[in-house]
A and B are shown apart, each in its own frame.
Chain A
């Protein structure tokens, strides 16, 4: 799921103005105590992640992915004698905290780059000041417009709309002719999928959207929605909600007698459907990553992840962050320097060439990632890869 939250405009504007003013006074880039020639022994990276708070599931999993990538880099001596040192900061899903940590990194010449937060509101607070100070920032998730503020900001999570055609192909295969949409109207990414992407898929893959209902960000009871949708009995329902909303909405749809197809978003992954159990069996969702994907990059990543974390299966948050860390390392290697500007140039070259990662073949449109995607599903007890979809 793209964790997208809008900042409070007045607070953000004031905060950003103060920070930009401070940064301008501090000067801009430098880079890890280097003069731009060669790699230092240690390259310090600040990782701003949501280790606590409402989106801790994204931050904690992302951190595991980053730690694994850094272990691999250091073991392989990917950067020669240089090692990446990750300084983890818990933003607690607060834009103010995230901006404060970013400011700290910008004003400290020891930091060469930032691995950014997942929530769009935080990313939107960090991006303008990082771009102004010429600090490379690589985000995962953070799907809102405005997060990519210039050539120093990258996003290593492909927009869901770029691979959501997998859902259209699936529904066409099932012969679906009508669909309802239930989406979280407070989340820009989910709202965009519900209001624009789903109807576009309908036009392309031959089904009609019969109803489109928004729910509040914190809505918890979907009985009325479920009842309304079940009465209309469309061939499919797009359930585009945040993580905790998914099992409840699906369960209540089923309890209201709905038996058609259910299509969701990556927010259905990461174990979020487990509480719904058998009621959610058959639900599918396009995803940028599945631990069951058959490409070499994914297989290698899953194997290494399980070995490091006691057999735990990685989710998309871990895979995206793993790819983000490797993207950064490749950029640094390409730059041959820990200097911020040179790292940005290195990242641009790596992005132009693309590379193989846990999410498969990674390419970029500008500074934004693109992947083929997979169609994941829930069989009632565990996540599965829906057969016949690309991996």
Chain B
């Protein structure tokens, strides 16, 4: 039981690390970035390419993943999402085009990685980091699991604190509530949007590297599978809420682990997504979603 709980919390932490950046961008600057999975994968893939030539330690790999993720995410914002927003005064139409644009952009790093790897999985076996299994009473966990748990805790806590307490975080939340009024009050929307996308990409990059260490290897398509889970976790928890993302990721992981351990495992998606559907029927804005006020 304790072992299953540890496994579920680790899986939930992975979902959280992935979902955190996506949730941040979606809940504040209104960008649902469907290229997030590709950024996540390509950050990890870049580290893989580097580690083929030089044995790097885990902290450096995480740092490289962070930088690559941030740069890719900012590039996506500058080259694709900003032009879309500029050309579409209707925010709803812009959001839709950003969503479709993200799907299109996601195909580029995916195709590059598929071409270079021939869709064979890649991992960090040449990194200096070695996975060790630790036995703590009745449970066992690896040092990678510990890093993932710590990273999820620190990053989710950090992002949550920043949004609630830091001046820039408050400005960002103000954009999320009403972008026009925030602009009138002197909030530099473009700079904050770029910063948000950089942080979201950095989180994706960190998640990509940690996931590759944890799973031993990932494939070029791995980002797509996580995208769906992260999307589900965010919707379940409530868009724009860090606490919601934490809750959504953990509930999803706990449900999946329970199904895998208690049944033959074939109903994982049906049960976990069915559960999400049931929750959303009762709370349409998710567990921690904020109430939207529309004035006429």
Contacts and interface: CB of A to CB of B under 8 A. Distances in A.
Interface stretch (B27-35, B79-87, B115-123, B168-176): B115-123
Interface string A232-275: 00000000000110011001100111000000000000111011
A338 to B, nearest CB: 33
B7 A224 contact: yes
B222 A244 contact: yes
Interface residues on B, range: 35 or more
B123 A247 contact: yes
A74 interface: no
A275 B123 contact: yes
Contacts of B269: 216
Contacts of B133: 255, 257
A225 B260 contact: yes
A293 to B, nearest CB: 22
Nearest to B260: A224
Interface string A150-174: 0000000000000000000000000
B265 A57 contact: no
A275 B225 CA distance: 20
Contacts of A272: 120-121
A60 B117 CA distance: 11
B215 A221 contact: yes
A12 interface: no
B46 interface: no
25 contacts: A53-B114, A54-B220, A56-B115, A56-B118, A56-B119, A57-B120, A60-B118, A185-B265, A185-B266, A213-B264, A213-B265, A214-B264, A215-B266, A220-B225, A220-B226, A221-B14, A221-B214, A224-B257, A244-B120, A244-B222, A251-B216, A252-B215, A255-B131, A257-B133, A275-B216
Interface of B: 3-4, 7-8, 10-11, 14, 111, 114-115, 118-123, 125, 131, 133, 140, 142, 214-222, 224-226, 256-257, 260-261, 264-266, 268-269
Given A57-B120, A243-B119, A257-B133, 13 more contacts: A54-B221, A213-B264, A213-B265, A215-B266, A215-B268, A216-B269, A221-B11, A221-B214, A225-B265, A247-B216, A251-B215, A252-B216, A275-B122
List the 6 shortest-distance A-B pairs measured between CB atoms, nearest first.
A275-B123, A275-B217, A244-B219, A214-B266, A251-B216, A218-B225
Interface of A: 52-57, 60-61, 185, 212-216, 218-221, 223-225, 227-228, 243-244, 247-248, 251-252, 255-257, 270-272, 274-277, 279
